[in-house]
A and B are shown apart, each in its own frame.
Chain A
Amino acid sequence: MATAFGDDSGARGPARGDALGRWIGHHPIAALVIAVAVIFVLWLVLAPWPVAFEDVFGKKRLFINALFNGITLGGLYFLVATGFTLIFGLMRNVNLAHGSLYLFGGYMGYEAGEWTGSWLFGFVIAFISCAVVGMAMQFLIFRRMEGQDLRQTLVTLGLSIIFSDLMVWVWGGNAVQIDTPDYLAGPIPTPIVVAVKSSGDAIFLQYPRARLVIFAAAVVIGIGMWLALNRTRIGVMIRAGVDDRDMLSVLGYRVQLLFILVFAFGAGLAGTAGIVGGTFTSISLGEDTHFLLASLQVVIVGGMGSIPGAALGAVIIGCAEQFGQTYFQNYATVLTFVIMVIVLALRPQGLLGRR
């Protein structure tokens, strides 16, 4: 199964504008439905809701908060899942220790922050420490069992058991909260109306600055990765490796080095996501499985081995989780599960995956 990193229509360049028109021409009804849905969502977000509408669907404030939380959570999920999907796409290695790397990064960032008092320095430490662990895993273990994907997966499982137990040993079972730095603390006003007072004044949404900044950072990282994969030499090597690893090594490229680099990068990204998660909420025992599950769902929905797919899947899963918790608390996980089932039934390779 070949997998897509990035949009391969990029190669066709000038034809891209026509591609959308052609797609609409081929699928007029689907295009109409999508257009109506987009307009409806825009209306939901931008317009103040009529009273009758609020009676049925609840306060707009709830909806907007769930939407914002969902999208920013999607940003966090993207950071975690993108390393997972990169490693899987290139090395066929389902890294079940990915959640442990997330947790480890969070703890290391917390320690660095406590030690130096700098939030940003924590990211450097988390990235480096997780990247080193990832490199060690690839260099010491997975290199020796290349092509045996089930065995590699079992090894990652064994490692995740050991890692999580050792982390309990060192950091205990209590939740650790990473403090938001002062320059990111507090809410900022947004131009979105959540309600209208009886006097006619509009109330605007206040949203935590840290979450918006981190989401913006995730978008920047995503775009940067897309550019790196589609516009640089190493990106070409990675994409070629995804499509045909053996051919790439026959052509004289140092595939093992590439594997170590990608593993280090993916693990490091998971580590930095640990700090983000620790800042959003907290990090504690059990968060490793939570984020492993999130990564699995994101890549199953978005498409296995595809980075745009990881972005799409992350936003879908993040929103589904938040809307589930807001509107039907007892069955919140069922919503993500149903999304997964629908995607598997209609497109087993994931929304943006490629067979």
Chain B
Amino acid sequence: MALLQSTQSAPIGVGVQRDGALSQWASRHAAILLLGAVLVFLPAVANDFIFVQVVGWAMILGIIALSLMFLAGYGGMVSLAQMTVAGVSGYMITVFGASSLPAISLFWPWWVAAPIAIVIAVAFGTLTGVLSSRTEGIYTIMITLAIAAAFFYLTLQNWPIFNGFAGFTTIPAPIAFGINWKHPVPLYYLILFFAALSYAGVVYISRTPFGLALQGVRDNPRRMEAIGYNVTAHRVAAYAFAALLAAIGGILMVWLNNQISPGSAGIEATIDLLVIAVVGGLGHPIGAFIGAIIYVILRTFALDSLVAIGLDGRRFQTLIGLCFLVIVLFSPDGVIGLWRRLSARARSTGGRERH
């Protein structure tokens, strides 16, 4: 699995220079701080469409892709069921919360429905983990893809709970603390808050003893077993944490789109999520968000730009597939890896010039 081994980000070394002052910390994380500032002030300069439908949507996809990145990058398990976990939580919040279908929805308040949805989705994700931890390596993809596809066909066929291919529409975001979270600006900040929280959560977990042990399991499960770690338990726990991220993303996804249908967590969406994570790069949590913004920008503007250069705008999927192939063939560690190699080269040539 060369792809995963090349994604070592060596988080162990990061904490070494902790004696430095705040300024040192700030300079090391300048890019992240700058990005955060841009995102916080974005609603002031951009229009609703840009900051909700493009940036907000990218952050939601980023959260779900982050759960895949966490499993694949730190755990070595490429799970294709993460979009399905998001779909489960999205469906559950419509079943327990509000929608335009009184025959199915229970109309419980959001502070009951959202936790229930998350608990069910995490249970589902953990079960997926238990199943796919029974085998190793490349089998994980097969099993999780089979699970994802089974869920897609279930939502398509099942009317009593999932309302078949029609799905649910008109699912309002809640009104809480006197704020209507359906409005673009509050919704944007809600998404931003959870995106930042998920990112910080993954970075934090990756440095805890659990996160380090998980990376040990990724690199050499047999040796970890011999040292006395419970390999399966670490894997299943990783699935549970990843499912929590995906579940949060799923609820936000429903609130943003105002609808959910089988296609929301369908096979195409599942594959697109893997594309996002791989294109961004599995080596660092930020890769999930980079991949997501690239994907959303392509998705939003490719149609027009394809037509502008004289091609058929409907060939969007081919474009996505080609981008993905180019990344997999020439930079297996994604845009992150490309960036690392370019900056390393710039540094080495810069060093040579000084001599």
Instruction: Write the residues of chain A forming the contact surface with B, with a CB cutoff of 8 angstroms.
Output: 92, 94, 96, 141, 147-151, 153-155, 157-162, 164-166, 169, 289, 292-293, 296-297, 299-300, 304, 329-334, 336-337, 340-341, 344-345, 348-349
With A161-B271, A341-B131 known as contacts, the answer to whether A331 contacts B142 (CB < 8 A) is no
| Residue B160 at the chain A interface, CB threshold 8 Å | yes
Q: Do A154 and B153 touch across chains, with their CB atoms under 8 A apart?
A: no
User: Which residue in A96, A151, A333 is a CB contact (below 8 Å) of B157?
Assistant: A333
| Residue B332 at the chain A interface, CB threshold 8 Å | yes
Q: Do A289 and B149 touch across chains, with their CB atoms under 8 A apart?
A: yes
With A92-B138, A153-B141 known as contacts, the answer to whether A162 contacts B321 (CB < 8 A) is yes
What's the least CB distance linking B329 to chain A, in Å? Answer: 7
User: Which residue in A161, A293, A330 is a CB contact (below 8 Å) of B160?
Assistant: A330
Complex A-B, nearest 9 residue pairs according to Cβ-Cβ distance, in ascending order: A161-B321, A165-B317, A162-B321, A158-B325, A348-B134, A293-B149, A333-B153, A337-B150, A158-B324
Question: Which chain B residues lie closer than 8 Å to A150 at the CB level?
Answer: 1-4, 78, 137-138, 141
Question: Which chain A residues lie closer than 8 Å to B275 at the CB level?
Answer: 157-158, 161
Question: Which chain A residues lie closer than 8 Å to B267 at the CB level?
Answer: 289, 293
24 examples of A-B residue contacts, CB within 8 angstroms: A96-B145, A141-B329, A147-B2, A150-B78, A150-B141, A151-B328, A154-B324, A155-B325, A155-B328, A158-B324, A158-B328, A161-B271, A161-B275, A161-B317, A162-B318, A169-B312, A293-B153, A293-B267, A300-B146, A330-B158, A340-B146, A344-B134, A344-B143, A348-B134
Q: Do A296 and B149 touch across chains, with their CB atoms under 8 A apart?
A: yes
Nearest CB to that of A336 among chain B residues? Answer: B150
User: Which residue in B135, B147, B325 is a CB contact (below 8 Å) of A162?
Assistant: B325
What's the least CB distance linking A172 to chain B, in Å? Answer: 11
What's the least CB distance linking B216 to chain A, in Å? Answer: 19
Q: Report the Cα distance A20→B139, complex, angstroms.
A: 32
What's the least CB distance linking B338 to chain A, in Å? Answer: 16
Question: Which chain B residues lie closer than 8 Å to A289 at the CB level?
Answer: 149, 267
Within 8 A of A (CB), among B1-39: 1-4
Question: Which chain A residues lie closer than 8 Å to B317 at the CB level?
Answer: 161-162, 164-165
What's the least CB distance linking B271 to chain A, in Å? Answer: 6
Interface digits, B105-139 against A, CB 8 Å rule (1 contact, 0 not)? 00000000000000000000000000100110111
Question: Which chain B residues lie closer than 8 Å to A94 at the CB level?
Answer: 138, 141-142
Nearest CB to that of B127 among chain A residues? Answer: A341
Question: Which chain B residues lie closer than 8 Å to A141 at the CB level?
Answer: 329
Question: Which chain A residues lie closer than 8 Å to B143 at the CB level?
Answer: 300, 340, 344
Q: Do B146 and A297 touch across chains, with their CB atoms under 8 A apart?
A: yes
| Interface of chain A, main secondary structure | helix
Nearest CB to that of A325 among chain B residues? Answer: B157
Nearest CB to that of B161 among chain A residues? Answer: A330
What's the least CB distance linking B58 to chain A, in Å? Answer: 20
Q: Do A329 and B321 touch across chains, with their CB atoms under 8 A apart?
A: no
Interface size, B (range): 35 or more
With A330-B160, A344-B134 known as contacts, the answer to whether A154 contacts B150 (CB < 8 A) is no
Question: Which chain B residues lie closer than 8 Å to A297 at the CB level?
Answer: 146
What's the least CB distance linking B293 to chain A, in Å? Answer: 20
Q: Do A337 and B147 touch across chains, with their CB atoms under 8 A apart?
A: yes
Question: Which chain A residues lie closer than 8 Å to B149 at the CB level?
Answer: 289, 292-293, 296
| Residue B88 at the chain A interface, CB threshold 8 Å | no
Interface digits, B145-184 against A, CB 8 Å rule (1 contact, 0 not)? 1110110011001111000000000000000000000000
Q: Do B4 and A157 touch across chains, with their CB atoms under 8 A apart?
A: no
Nearest CB to that of A341 among chain B residues? Answer: B131
What's the least CB distance linking B276 to chain A, in Å? Answer: 13
Q: Do A296 and B146 touch across chains, with their CB atoms under 8 A apart?
A: yes
Q: Report the Cα distance A337→B131, complex, angstroms.
A: 12
What's the least CB distance linking B154 to chain A, in Å? Answer: 5
Q: Report the Cα distance A160→B322, complex, angstroms.
A: 11
With A150-B78, A162-B321 known as contacts, the answer to whether A332 contacts B157 (CB < 8 A) is yes
What's the least CB distance linking B274 to chain A, in Å? Answer: 7
Q: Report the Cα distance A148→B157, complex, angstroms.
A: 37
With A157-B274, A162-B318 known as contacts, the answer to whether A304 contacts B139 (CB < 8 A) is yes
What's the least CB distance linking B268 to chain A, in Å? Answer: 8
What's the least CB distance linking B126 to chain A, in Å? Answer: 14
What's the least CB distance linking B120 to chain A, in Å? Answer: 16
Q: Do A151 and B332 touch across chains, with their CB atoms under 8 A apart?
A: yes
Q: Do B315 and A169 touch across chains, with their CB atoms under 8 A apart?
A: yes
With A165-B315, A166-B318, A330-B159 known as contacts, the answer to whether A153 contacts B153 (CB < 8 A) is no
With A94-B142, A150-B4, A293-B146 known as contacts, the answer to whether A161 contacts B134 (CB < 8 A) is no
Interface digits, B205-231 against A, CB 8 Å rule (1 contact, 0 not)? 000000000000000000000000000
Question: Which chain B residues lie closer than 8 Å to A157 at the CB level?
Answer: 271, 274-275, 324
Q: Report the Cα distance A326→B12, complex, angstroms.
A: 56
Q: Do B142 and A296 touch across chains, with their CB atoms under 8 A apart?
A: yes
What's the least CB distance linking A304 to chain B, in Å? Answer: 7
Question: Which chain A residues lie closer than 8 Å to B141 at the CB level?
Answer: 94, 150, 153
Question: Which chain A residues lie closer than 8 Å to B314 at the CB level?
Answer: 169
Question: Which chain A residues lie closer than 8 Å to B159 at the CB level?
Answer: 330
With A158-B325, A300-B143 known as contacts, the answer to whether A331 contacts B315 (CB < 8 A) is no
| Residue B278 at the chain A interface, CB threshold 8 Å | yes
Nearest CB to that of B150 among chain A residues? Answer: A337
With A149-B1, A299-B142 known as contacts, the answer to whether A333 contacts B135 (CB < 8 A) is no
Within 8 A of A (CB), among B25-63: none
Question: Which chain A residues lie closer than 8 Å to B324 at the CB level?
Answer: 154, 157-158, 161
Within 8 A of A (CB), among B302-321: 312, 314-318, 320-321
What's the least CB distance linking A192 to chain B, in Å? Answer: 29
What's the least CB distance linking B205 to chain A, in Å? Answer: 23
User: Which residue in A159, A333, A341 is a CB contact (below 8 Å) of B321?
Assistant: A159
Q: Report the Cα distance A154→B329, complex, angstroms.
A: 9
Question: Which chain B residues lie closer than 8 Å to A292 at the CB level?
Answer: 149
**Could you list 5 further interchain pairs (A-B, Cβ under 8 angstroms) beyond the known A154-B274, A161-B320?**
A141-B329, A151-B328, A293-B145, A293-B153, A331-B158
